[in-house]
Amino acid sequence: MNRTALITGASSGIGKATAIALARENFNLILCGRRTEKLQELNDFLKDTPTHLLNFDVREKEKINEAIQSLPENFKEIDVLINNAGNAHGLDFIQDGDLNDWDAMIDINVKGLLYVSNAIIPGMVKRKRGHIINIGSTAGKEVYPKGNVYCASKHAVNALTEGMRLDLNGMGIKVGAIHPGIVETDFSNVRFKGDSHRAKKVYEGFRALQPRDIADIIAFTVTRPCHVNIADIMVMSTAQASSTIIDKSEVAI
């Protein structure tokens, strides 16, 4: 019997790549996101994989609960939860920060992860099995200039992962986190609010991680034997040594 994985933020980037990777591992997939048309495109691409689409914003806890409760019987038992949805908004010194940007990062990266987890973990506890993967960031391991609130939100993801692992110990539920460095996605375009020139410069001069790189790690992590839990991984491109130290010479390309 195929296992079922629920992926938030599945419409693009790491979430989309993870769906494709897990389809290759014969998972049934619950694809969640805000952009219905993007989810449908992915669904069409995965035509040979049993899928179910859920349209919600992770900030809206009532809609999340309604969506999870609406799952058909053959998708109700969620074996793997990939808390992937997350965003960065703005890159400002703390004294210049936009309160709306702060709210968005806390609401999506922290509260959104909690809302989705709260809707799914009780079923895992009842069944005495499950696997939770939280997608963090190297920003959850260090702090960089102008990263203040974003870094705080990803530090929270790191702490929540550790807290989940402690609280769920002995219940047959694995908990782990994957913390990527710079991954070439729409992430920077969102952070810089559509300034594509500024976003593009983030990835210039070196070979950044690609969504599939992270997806392959996720697929490996969730297919380990039942007694093996990969608790914490930090992954960067070869050119990246920290959030602010990146080799952008030709050697790194």
Dist. CA 10–CA 215, nearest whole Å = 11
Q: Name the catalytic one among 115, 144, 150, 203.
A: 150
Could you tell me how many residues make up the chain? 253
Q: Answer for the pair 28, 3: CB distance below 8 angstroms, yes or no.
A: yes
- Answer yes or no: 115 catalytic: no
State how far the Cα of 161 lies from the Cα of 167, in Å rounded to an integer.
10
Is residue 36 a contact partner of residue 111, using CB atoms and an 8 Å limit?
A: no
Here the tokens at position 22 are: 């897990």
Among 128, 49, 32, CA closest to 83: 32
Do 84 and 135 touch, CB atoms closer than 8 A?
yes
- Among candidate residues 123, 107, 198, the one with its CA nearest the CA of residue 156: 107
**3-class secondary-structure state, position 74:** helix
Catalytic amino acids?
Answer: 150
